[in-house]
Amino acid sequence: DVKVTQSSRYLVKRTGEKVFLECVQDMDHENMFWYRQDPGLGLRLIYFSYDVKMKEKGDIPEGYSVSREKKERFSLILESASTNQTSMYLCASSLRYTEAFFGQGTRLTVV
């Protein structure tokens, strides 16, 4: 079975902190994604990566950056956390042109 693991289920951070969300997949997938999910807004793509060190902006990249130094790991970075970044963050991975598999999600609260 494909396993996508996010480093934390719940996080509470202070405004202005630099926040790292980590995601690891064990199926040698080329693609990895970061989404955020908010009530009434569905899943919105923040960034995705189709290869090591390769990344592309999604629909809402502002305030975020990403890092993919190894194929199995994709990190989402909040440079300076703000309260409007309080959300559920979901990582996913996939082979090219196939279905994506999700991690369990990280619920981030910025106070």
Partner 1 sequence: GQQLNQSPQSMFIQEGEDVSMNCTSSSIFNTWLWYKQDPGEGPVLLIALYKAGELTSNGRLTAQFGITRKDSFLNISASIPSDVGIYFCAGPPLGGGATNKLIFGTGTLLAVQP
Q: Which residues bind partner 1 (CB under 8 A)?
A: 4, 6, 30-31, 33, 35, 42-45, 48, 50, 56, 58-60, 90, 92, 94, 96-105, 107
Minimum distance of partner 1 from residue 99's CB (angstroms): 5
Taking the least distance from each CB to partner 1, the nearer of 42 and 83 is: 42
Task: State how far the Cα of 46 lies from the Cα of 23, in Å rounded to an integer.
Answer: 14
Minimum distance of partner 1 from residue 77's CB (angstroms): 20
Task: State how far the Cα of 40 lies from the Cα of 51, in Å rounded to an integer.
Answer: 31
Q: How far apart are the first and last CA of the chain?
A: 37
Minimum distance of partner 1 from residue 62's CB (angstroms): 13
Minimum distance of partner 1 from residue 103's CB (angstroms): 5
Taking the least distance from each CB to partner 1, the nearer of 13 and 44 is: 44
Output the CA–CA distances (angstroms, integers) from residue 91 to 3, 45, 80, in the order listed.
11, 10, 20
Taking the least distance from each CB to partner 1, the nearer of 1 and 17 is: 1
